[in-house]
């Protein structure tokens, strides 16, 4: 059984002033944490292959905290 894991990577884009974090679940990117503006923002992306995303809540919260720390 292939168990999916949360991962993230720091990214940059010429349309943005600051770097951001792409958040993945398995091979699929589902979110981005941006530090544009006065506080970090969570941007959720639409799933490409299903009607909605579903994650273990505790694991998702830990992944978001870890991704946020990498920006600060």
Confidence of residue 2 (pLDDT cuts 50, 70, 90): low
Three-state helix/strand/coil letters over 23-41: EEECCEEEEEEECCCCCCE
The residue among 49 and 59 whose pLDDT is bigger is: 59
Domain count, the chain: 1
Q: Does a structural domain hold residue 1?
A: no
1 sits in which H/E element: none
Q: What's the pTM?
A: 0.78
Please write the tens of the pLDDT for every residue from 10-34: 999 999 889 999 999 888 898 999 9
Q: What is the pLDDT of residue 1?
A: 46
Domain that holds residue 47: 6-71
- Report, as an integer, the average pLDDT of 43-66: 86
């Amino acid at each position: 059984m292939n168990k999916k894991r949360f991962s993230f990577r720091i990214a940059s884009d010429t349309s943005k002033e600051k770097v951001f974090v792409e958040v993945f679940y398995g091979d699929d990117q589902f979110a981005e944490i941006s530090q544009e503006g006065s506080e970090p923002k969570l941007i959720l992306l639409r799933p490409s292959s299903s009607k909605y995303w579903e994650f273990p809540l505790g694991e998702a919260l830990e992944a978001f905290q870890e991704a946020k720390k990498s920006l600060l």
